[in-house]
Amino acid sequence: MTLTHPAYGRLRPVTSTASVLLANNPSQMTLQGTNTWILRAPGRSDCVVVDPGPEDHEHSAAIARETGGDIALTLITHHHQDHTGGIERLTELTGTPVRAMQREFLRDSDTPLADDEVIEAAGLRIAVLATPGHTRDSVSFLLDDAVVTGDTVLGSGTTVLESRDGALGDYLASMDRLLAAASGRALLPAHGPDHAAAEPVIRYYIQHRQERLEQVREALRELGADAEPLEIVARVYADVDKSLWPAARSSVEAQLAYLRS
């Protein structure tokens, strides 16, 4: 029987080089949980892991089991705990080196990831794309047949932006960059289902962000130019569960900084 998302604790093949292990940490923010991607070239026993997931010994053990502990490299898409919490346990179990944009997550390596770097590991060629917006340190990984997008593009829903000046400008530039690279590639997100074609999903994300931006403009016209973020959230995200309003506020603050600049 072919596995479909979500398949907790079971390795689910997605492309010729990528399979996924879904961590059992579902929530409104993580959707069905965190996707740990296992990348392996045909005919190779070693692999590359992307995002070891949360601090969850069962999930770490599943990664070690499904890889046979033969992990040439572990890569991190960004610093959030649902992606990095499993680093310590996975390194204990497998000895994998770990690379990320932030030095605090490096293991058995002194070199943070760099934009446009090309990594050759486990028979794979992986290009690093800096895609900030969700966080400053967000990166995506480009394979021959797929793009691993972390939280920059999800399999469903939308991405929360950092509440900082420049976050939306960074994010829109990141989306343009991903769109330029997406043609003919599958989308491998950190949360939600994968998609056979990345380009339509990225185009939807760009359109949705522009629609939200126009809704914020309209709210400012109605509420006044000095309207507070939570006032705008209540207007623009009225149909969203209030438990998600803090996340929506973060995105609104990023949108306000973009418009007011």
Give yes or no for a contact between 152 and 174, defined as CB atoms under 8 angstroms apart: yes
| Domains recognised in the chain with CATH numbers | 12-198 (3.60.15.10)
- Name the pLDDT band for 240 (thresholds 50, 70, 90): confident
Predicted local confidence at residue 33, as pLDDT: 98
In tens, the pLDDT along 81-113 reads: 999 999 999 999 999 999 999 999 999 999 999
Residue range 33-48: mean pLDDT, rounded? 97
The model's pTM = 0.95
pLDDT score at 233: 94
Q: Report the alpha-carbon angle 84-191-96, nearest 5.
A: 35
User: How many other CB atoms are found less than 10 A from the CB of residue 104?
Assistant: 9
Tokens representing 247 are 């996340």
User: Which run of H or E residues covers position 170?
Assistant: helix 167-182
Residue 22: is its pLDDT beyond 90?
A: yes
pLDDT in tens, 118-136: 999 999 999 999 999 999 9
What is the residue-wise DSSP string for 202-234? HHHHHHHHHHHHHHHHHHHHHH-TT--HHHHHH
Nearest to 188 by CA among 21, 29, 8, 66: 21
Tell me the pLDDT tens digit for each residue of 135-183.
Answer: 999 999 999 999 999 999 999 999 999 999 999 999 999 999 999 999 9
Is residue 171 helix, strand or coil?
helix
- Contact status, residue 77 vs residue 36, Cβ threshold 8 Å: no
Q: Is 236 exposed, middle or buried (0-12, 13-18, 19+ CB in 10 A)?
A: buried
Confidence band of 1 (pLDDT split at 50, 70, 90): low
Judge whether 254 and 162 are in contact, CB under 8 Å: yes
